[in-house]
Amino acid sequence: MVLHPTDTILQVNSLCFSYGKKKILDNISFSVPRGDFLSIIGPNGSGKTTLLRLLCATTSPNAGTILLNAKPIQKIPLKERALLLAVIHQKESLSFPFTAMEIITMGLHPHLSRFEPLSATHKRQILHAMEQTDTLRFADTPVTQLSGGEMQRVMFARALVQKPQILFLDEAMSDFDIHARIQFHKMLKKLSTETGLTVISVHHDINAAYQFSDKVLALKNGRIYGYGAPSDIMTSEFFQNVFYVKAELFPKKGFFIYDNTKETKPNI
């Protein structure tokens, strides 16, 4: 049974954020339907990661509101928030040699009471997440011995075990090879379509944004340049104005992007 409700899970209204006198985000407003796959794209310094931190409530805005399930996100208790949100960062630095399975099992912590043992259902959840992310092969390996890509697989498995309503990704696939990126995007797209998981991903993979996203949010200089379906936003004019490159679209496949600096130089 395909689940794809249309109600809004996240509502952002007139969001502003500054570091001191430096304005990072200005008047950001948009809504995210439950079960959507949203890609946040834009050049370096456009405010993408800052926006993600605001959306998952690790940073507070200077102005504006963020509603999660129609509630102000900052007013939702941390334990309840942990049941609703999971975040995977670009790099996870762990110095203690937990095994991969121990880290993945930590995804259950928001659901367990203190000293509650793992049930058979919990163990099946862990096994299923490890199968989805191909982490069974190094289940007993200390994470300090894993490669960057293997570590990211562990973080994805932990997030899947957590079963959040929204999964936030901050360039979380940057250590993956091309094949792994495609496979993980396919997995997340399937989860969003079939289970109603909302995925909000900050990344620079333009082709993945076009192929797998329900919507893209494009930022430029801390403002929304465009928000909507990839085919509506990601045009030749978009690439020229936002990234200062030319792009040729191959329908249903993606973009070939090439340099345009001789014609248009960004203001740096």
> Would you state the pLDDT for residue 263?
52
In Å, how far are 150, 202, 241 from 147, measured between CA atoms?
A: 5, 22, 37
* Per-residue pLDDT tens digits for 70-109: 999 999 999 999 999 999 999 887 889 999 999 999 999 9
Q: Whole-angstrom Cα distance, residue 94 to residue 68?
A: 30
Helix 148-162, helix 120-133: angle, nearest 10: 140
In Å, how far are 24, 43, 112, 205 from 46, measured between CA atoms?
A: 8, 6, 39, 16
Length of the chain measured in residues: 268
DSSP per residue over 50-78, as a string? HHHHHHTTSS--SEEEEEETTEEGGGS-H
> Would you state the pLDDT for residue 127?
97
Show the tokens assigned to 123.
């163990």
- Determine what percent of the chain is predicted with pLDDT higher than 70: 93
The two beta strands, 37-41 and 198-202, are parallel
Please compute, for residue 268, the number of CA atoms within 13 A of its CA located in the half-sphere on the CB side: 8
* Per-residue pLDDT tens digits for 190-248: 999 999 999 999 999 999 999 999 999 999 999 999 999 999 999 989 999 999 998 88
In Å, how far are 63, 85, 130, 162 from 153, measured between CA atoms?
A: 36, 18, 9, 14
3-state secondary structure of 130: helix
Q: Whole-angstrom Cα distance, residue 8 to residue 166?
A: 12
Q: Which helix (H) or strand (E) holds 107?
A: none
Mean pLDDT within 37-64: 96
**Domain residue ranges of the chain, discontinuous segments joined by +:** 97-163
**Mean pLDDT across the chain, nearest whole number?**
92
Lowest mean pLDDT among 26-35, 50-59, 110-119: 110-119
Q: Whole-angstrom Cα distance, residue 38 to residue 47?
A: 16
List, in order, residues 6 or more apart from 268 with CB less than 8 Å away.
none
Query: Do 106 and 158 touch, CB atoms closer than 8 A?
Result: yes
Higher-pLDDT residue of 248 and 41 is: 41
Q: Does the pLDDT at position 132 exceed 60? A: yes
The two beta strands, 63-68 and 8-19, are antiparallel
Query: Do 218 and 41 touch, CB atoms closer than 8 A?
Result: yes
